[in-house]
Amino acid sequence: MKIKSAEFVMSNSDVAKCPKNLMPEYAFIGRSNVGKSSLINMLTHRKSLAKTSGRPGKTQLINHFLINNEWFLVDLPGYGYAKVSKTTKKVFQKFITQYFDLREQLVCAFVLVDIRHDPQPIDLEFMQYLGEKAVPFCIIFTKADKLKPNAADRHVEAYRKVMLETWEEMPKHFVTSASKDIGKEDVLEYIASLNQNMVTSPK
């Protein structure tokens, strides 16, 4: 898939105000400072479509971007250790859960995980939540350029072992690096295949 256009549509904290049309949506979410904005900018080939920041917790709204006038990329607030007030955290955690409860347009969630770290309970708990809600999701491992290939493979395998303790199989996953354009085509082609399946599936 080639990204021909990527435009910001809206930001809000009220799921009821999200776009009303039925275009497919793909949500990107992860722990604070996992490299979500950088990944979104890499996928869309835009330097500053999503605002990057060294300060965790920068994204605090549901951000919709229209891609190729065909589907929405949705940038969701990070969960976990964002340096924001408890009140603020409760508010945006509430609309994250509302988003997953109410958005029928959602096709797949991409859960971003820093490949350099051992499996973190907060990531595993969030994926468990998605599983219980029957929300389709994939894992995107970020910052692969920070590790040698063999080390990256070992970290993915460690994740697989932990997940197979509670899951029947490891979810589909991608290894990426925003700075090196690693994994870009794989993620975009997967989204393209899901969009194509929806077009060709009988009503």
Over residues 17-38, the pLDDT tens digits come to 999 989 999 999 998 889 999 9
pLDDT at 96: 85
| Token digits of residue 196 | 């194509």
Domains of the chain, by residue range, sit at: 6-196
pLDDT at 89: 52
Burial of 37 (0-12, 13-18, 19+ CB in 10 A): buried
| Token digits of residue 100 | 């997953």
Contact 114, 31 (CB under 8 A): yes
- Quote the pTM value: 0.89
pLDDT digits (tens, 9 = 90+) for 156-190: 999 999 999 999 999 999 999 999 999 999 999 99
pLDDT of 83 over the 60 cut? no
Domain 6-196: what homologous superfamily? P-loop containing nucleotide triphosphate hydrolases (3.40.50.300)
pLDDT digits (tens, 9 = 90+) for 98-146: 899 999 999 999 999 999 999 998 899 889 989 999 999 999 999 999 9
Burial of 146 (0-12, 13-18, 19+ CB in 10 A): middle
